[in-house]
Structure 1
Amino acid sequence: MAKKAKVLALAAILAASISVGFAEAKTLKMATDSGAKGSPAGAAIEAWAKAIESGTKGDVKVSIYYQNELGGQQEVFDLLVAGDVDLMLNWPLTSYDKRIGVLYTPYMFTTWEEALEAYKPGGWLNKILDNVYSQIGLKFFGAWPEGFNGVATKGRFATTVDGAKGIKVRVPPVFPFSETLQALGYQTATVDWGELFSAIQTGVVDGDAANVIYWDYEYFRDVLDHYVQTKQQFLTGMLTMNLEEWEALTPEQQKVVQDAALSVMQKQFKEARALDESFVEKWKAKGNKYIEPKPEEIQTLAQKVRTEVWPRLEKDIGSELMKPVRENSAKF
């Protein structure tokens, strides 16, 4: 009987330890506001989730939600700030803090090298964003670069301000996208991403003017036929986490989550340019036109936009943030 009692006692201890292990395990919700399963963004969050689960030996599980599965761009960002989504790769809106708009400053960069240097861990723009994000309750891991955006249109295109007159393009409801395109000579309209295809088809707008070529190829290659890489912004997603949920993790779990994010970012830093160029070739192979303005045309556009938009941006985000932008941006 004594032996049986010992066995039962050991079984009870083992059961208790297992139940404690289960109690300590947690599930994090991870989302992206842009990118379906199979997209580059979808693959990035899958890799991040897998590395977290592997690194914590299953103590942290991750549930993944792709574009539109939890709502639109604004709704999902709301969920992140509220803590209903824990981890996110997103293209942030400025509704909670206009200072986030610093990353959309037009014509900060003219080359990939300049942009990647600014966004890398420890880079001057990375440090600014880290500080801003922490003040709105988010842990900032870093940037997931995509590349320079441009203007995709149907039937006609422009490389000058005068040439853009009469062309109406869609922009997201984020300052200073609309202001930038208006300075470039275009008319603008804010159209929800989910309604953009039909808006182009029905002539509500003549094109899309916010994205790197991947998005225009993937979603609109059959209704748009020109892409002008005006390079007004260098676009990047951001890997972030709700700060309260971050602080609820153990130090060991925090290290795994952060290291996994860094690994995903490093991969994208190495591969982003080649990925962008591959979609340029796919766009051309479809029979669509890809136009790169001459350097002097880019310079003219950049100077006009900086003159008109930068002072308005400075009013919104403050001179303290614009000072390093002015000091570190590309020189003309």
Structure 2
Amino acid sequence: MKRTILTSIAALAVSSATAFAADIELKVTTDSGFSDSPSGIAIANWAKAIEEGSDGEIEVQVFYQDELGTQLEVFDLFVAGEVDLMLAWPSTTYDKRIGVVTTPFMVSSWEEATEALRPDGWANSIINDVFAGIGLKYLGAWPEGFAGVATRGKYATTIDGASDIKVRTAPYFPNPESLQAMGYQTEVIEWGETYTSIQTGLVDGDSGNVIYWDYEYFGDLLDYFVHTKHKFGTGSILANLNNFEELSEEHQALIVETAETMMEEQFASARAEDQRNIERAVADGMEYIELTEEESAALKEAVRTQVWPLIEESVGSEIMEQIRAHAK
């Protein structure tokens, strides 16, 4: 009798668990950032908002940096539909036009960046069209701030001064080309291999990131952060288009709304957060260098002259005309 009662209770528990199981399972990941990083916290909050907004109809599994593979491998999975949602700094392997997201010296201030990347901004529709070409839906920007070059032992503020410095760049266009135009030697290295590459002297530092990444991940190795501001660093909030379109209209709207909230919150907080990270790095001994107007102008001219024509070859003259029309 006792065994029958226990069996019945167990069966009821299984039945209840099944009854309350989510109807839909989604996977969200980021290619850069562990669980306690800003990007990791952001996707965890996004997952929670989707689950709560769906009243339990959707369960979201969260994966952080390197848990599904390298930066390029996880993007492959995403394009293939093995991952549904992503906060990415995406590879241009599938389409060089993706590089338009971080066109160097496209914007020069937070105000210009907001104007370009807000939901109805001039750059937003361009970026969405580019991602749609490889089967992805662009849900918005996740801004971090203006990038710089972090090095150890030596630093440069001019093109000539950078000639004997080799820096790591992300493995997608136009990052290497931009740094080369600024005078640096470059080495394309996966994010997960950057620490060892600096530690062993393969490169003198990292480039193309806001100071958070260089201080948080390589602060024990790096001495200087030159705020070149050559690109506005932003992640892209994305959905696999095929998987997205298989969802109900209600669930699609939920994902779009939660992504927009995620973007708005990041725009509201990122500028102050970047400044706090600068202060943290300086307090811990990293030297922070701002360029003079003349130094900044020289880099801007070199990059626009050498790199923008290459970008135009990839994105087409129509897109590039819009960028030129808005750039200052």
TM bracket, shorter-chain basis: over 0.9
Instruction: Describe the SS at the equivalent of 1:63.
Output: strand
2:77 corresponding residue in structure 1? 79
Instruction: Describe the SS at the equivalent of 1:210.
Output: strand
After superposing the two structures, state which structure 1 stretch, 284-293 or 24-33, moved more: 24-33
Instruction: Describe the SS at the equivalent of 1:31.
Output: strand
1:284 corresponding residue in structure 2? 282
Q: How does 1:151-300 map to 2 (within 5 A)?
A: 151-300=149-298
Question: 1:135 Cα shift?
Answer: 2.0
TM-score by length of 1: 0.92
- Looking at structure 1, the residues matched to 184 and 56 of structure 2 have their Cα atoms a distance apart, in angstroms, of 51
1:51 corresponding residue in structure 2? 49
Task: Please tell me whether residue 65 in structure 1 is matched to residue 63 in structure 2.
Answer: yes
1:101 corresponding residue in structure 2? 99
Does the 8 Å contact 2:152/2:205 carry over to 1? yes
2:11 corresponding residue in structure 1? none
Instruction: Describe the SS at the equivalent of 1:144.
Output: strand
Runs of 4+ in 1 over 4 A off after TM superposition: 18-22
2:135 corresponding residue in structure 1? 137
Amino acid across the alignment from 2:137: K
Amino acid across the alignment from 1:185: G
2:24 to 23, 26, 29: 26
- Looking at structure 2, the residues matched to 65 and 20 of structure 1 have their Cα atoms a distance apart, in angstroms, of 26
Q: How does 1:307-318 map to 2 (within 5 A)?
A: 307-318=305-316
Instruction: Describe the SS at the equivalent of 1:162.
Output: coil
Amino acid across the alignment from 1:137: G
Question: 1:140 Cα shift?
Answer: 1.3
Amino acid across the alignment from 1:164: A
Does the 8 Å contact 2:71/2:190 carry over to 1? no
- Looking at structure 1, the residues matched to 200 and 96 of structure 2 have their Cα atoms a distance apart, in angstroms, of 33
- Looking at structure 1, the residues matched to 31 and 175 of structure 2 have their Cα atoms a distance apart, in angstroms, of 18
Gaps of 5+ in 2: 1-14
Task: Report the number of matched residues.
Answer: 315
Q: 1:89-130 CA distances to partner (integer Å, 9 max, x unpaired)?
A: 011111111111111211111111111110110101111011
- Looking at structure 2, the residues matched to 156 and 19 of structure 1 have their Cα atoms a distance apart, in angstroms, of 61
2:299 corresponding residue in structure 1? 301
Q: 1:43-62 CA distances to partner (integer Å, 9 max, x unpaired)?
A: 11011101100000000000
Share of identical aligned residues, percent?
A: 53
Gaps of 5+ in 1: 1-15
After superposing the two structures, state which structure 1 stretch, 272-281 or 184-193, moved more: 184-193
TM-score by length of 2: 0.93
- Looking at structure 2, the residues matched to 255 and 305 of structure 1 have their Cα atoms a distance apart, in angstroms, of 40
RMSD, matched Cα: 1.7
Check 1:57–1:187 CA distance in 2 against 1; reply closer, same or farther (3 A cut): same
Does the 8 Å contact 2:102/2:234 carry over to 1? no
- Looking at structure 2, the residues matched to 104 and 48 of structure 1 have their Cα atoms a distance apart, in angstroms, of 23
